[in-house]
């Protein structure tokens, strides 16, 4: 057995082990830790699979942002044990569920191991298709051009999600800022972090978004880091997020898809039609969309993490807070 094979086997076992532990964990908190650990291991697996772009996304969004948001809810849920034990499936039901899961997993394994060899691939076509766009990273080329409609619709989905989250607010909270109101921390580790980290984090986030055109990275990975940097001062109570009725916040969230849509429609006039780029001007246009999308991803993710407005501050206290 070669070293590489052994490593893959160890990674596979580690991922499955932490995943199983996540389900078995006694407390919700432990389950989240297990989930994040699984996600981080998976990022390593993605590197093994030669997909560094995905590895970064998995670490930033799959493990990082998802972990944070689940943890944030865990801290606020106080489950009634009676209700939970009443709703827990019986031993027989769980055995049935296990049977179903094993059957699906087994059939799936049968299918995967019987995929054709050599595998069909669009790698060559994607590489050839990314050259005229001036992009060195074929994954970005697929995201922005060949499958641009996916990315456009996905950025629209993020706006849907933000609006759906906001619309879960209580009626009388409408007009408040996203999320609960945090106490201002003048000192302590959180406050320090919220003061020191953002300048560095913002630079890193923008850098990762910027290099995405030619190297692993991109708007989603960079935007997630920016979102974290934006939220940190909220949680430390050092800054107050804008009200959800503020059109500037809304514009930030919608700017990415709107820019993408406008550039796409402009293709009718200046190129071969919807979502096509003029050959000489493709890269600047793509970078423009990427910049707007990075901003929007950051704003949307921050709002998704913060949640619906939970308190509506009287105007004077908001003014006092701004100082």
Cβ closest to another protein, residue 45 vs residue 211: 45
Cβ closest to another protein, residue 27 vs residue 187: 27
Stretch that binds another protein, among 194-202, 247-255, 284-292, 313-321 (CB under 8 A): 247-255
Q: Does 171 bind another protein (CB under 8 A)?
A: yes
Q: Provide the sign of the torsion angle of the four alpha carbons 34, 38, 43, 45, taken in this order.
A: positive
Q: Does 292 bind another protein (CB under 8 A)?
A: no
Q: Does 269 bind another protein (CB under 8 A)?
A: no
Contacts of another protein in 122-151 (CB under 8 A)? 122-127, 129, 138-139, 141-143, 145-151
Q: Does 80 bind another protein (CB under 8 A)?
A: yes
Q: Does 268 bind another protein (CB under 8 A)?
A: yes
Q: Does 204 bind another protein (CB under 8 A)?
A: no
Cβ closest to another protein, residue 195 vs residue 311: 311
Can the peptide bond before residue 301 be classed as cis, meaning omega within 30 degrees of 0? Answer: no
Contact yes or no for 218/298 (Cβ under 8 A): no
Cβ closest to another protein, residue 87 vs residue 280: 87
Enumerate residues 6+ apart whose C-beta is below 8 A from 162: 253, 300, 303, 304
Residue 180: left (phi > 0), alpha (psi -120 to 50), or beta?
beta
Cβ closest to another protein, residue 231 vs residue 238: 231
For another protein, the binding residue among 168, 269, 315, 322 (CB under 8 A) is 168
Enumerate residues 6+ apart whose C-beta is below 8 A from 145: 129, 130, 133, 275, 277, 282, 286
Cβ closest to another protein, residue 16 vs residue 196: 16
- Measured between alpha carbons, how far is 116 from 42 in angstroms, rounded to an integer? 25
Contact yes or no for 209/222 (Cβ under 8 A): yes
- Measured between alpha carbons, how far is 76 from 79 in angstroms, rounded to an integer? 10
Contact yes or no for 176/310 (Cβ under 8 A): yes
Contact yes or no for 261/159 (Cβ under 8 A): no
Contacts of another protein in 16-75 (CB under 8 A)? 16, 19-20, 22-23, 28, 31-32, 35, 38-39, 42, 45-46, 48-51, 53-54, 57-58, 61-62, 65-66, 69-70, 73-74
For another protein, the binding residue among 37, 213, 254, 292 (CB under 8 A) is 254
Q: What backbone torsions phi and psi does residue 146 show, to the nearest 5 degrees?
A: -60, -45
């Amino acid at each position: 057995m070669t070293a590489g094979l052994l490593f893959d086997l160890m990674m596979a076992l580690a991922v499955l082990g932490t995943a199983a532990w996540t389900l078995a964990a006694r407390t919700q908190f432990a389950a989240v830790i297990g989930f994040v650990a699984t996600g981080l291991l998976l990022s390593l697996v993605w590197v093994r699979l030669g997909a560094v772009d995905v590895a970064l996304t998995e670490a930033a969004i799959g493990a990082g942002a998802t972990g944070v948001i689940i943890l944030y809810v865990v801290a606020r849920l106080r489950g009634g044990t009676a209700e939970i034990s009443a709703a827990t499936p019986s031993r027989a039901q769980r055995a049935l569920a296990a049977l179903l899961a094993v059957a699906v997993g087994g059939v799936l394994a049968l299918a995967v191991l019987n995929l054709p060899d050599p595998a069909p691939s669009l790698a060559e076509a994607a590489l050839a298709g990314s050259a005229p766009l001036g992009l060195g990273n074929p994954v970005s080329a697929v995201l922005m051009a060949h499958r641009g409609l996916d990315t456009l619709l996905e950025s629209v989905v993020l706006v849907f999600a933000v609006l759906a989250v906001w619309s879960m607010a209580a009626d009388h909270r409408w007009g408040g800022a996203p999320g609960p109101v945090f106490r201002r921390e003048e000192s302590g580790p959180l406050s320090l972090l919220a003061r020191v980290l953002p300048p560095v984090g913002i630079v890193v986030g923008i850098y990762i978004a910027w290099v995405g055109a030619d190297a692993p990275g991109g708007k989603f990975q960079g935007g997630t880091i920016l979102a974290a940097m934006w939220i940190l001062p909220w949680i430390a109570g050092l800054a107050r997020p804008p009200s959800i009725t503020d059109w500037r916040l809304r514009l930030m969230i919608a700017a990415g898809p709107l820019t993408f849509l406008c550039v796409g429609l402009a293709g009718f006039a200046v190129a071969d039609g919807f979502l096509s780029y003029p050959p000489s001007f493709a890269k600047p246009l793509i970078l423009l969309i990427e910049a707007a999308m990075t901003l929007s991803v950051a704003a949307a993710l921050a709002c998704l993490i913060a949640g619906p407005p939970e308190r509506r501050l009287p105007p004077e206290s908001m003014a006092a807070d701004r100082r």
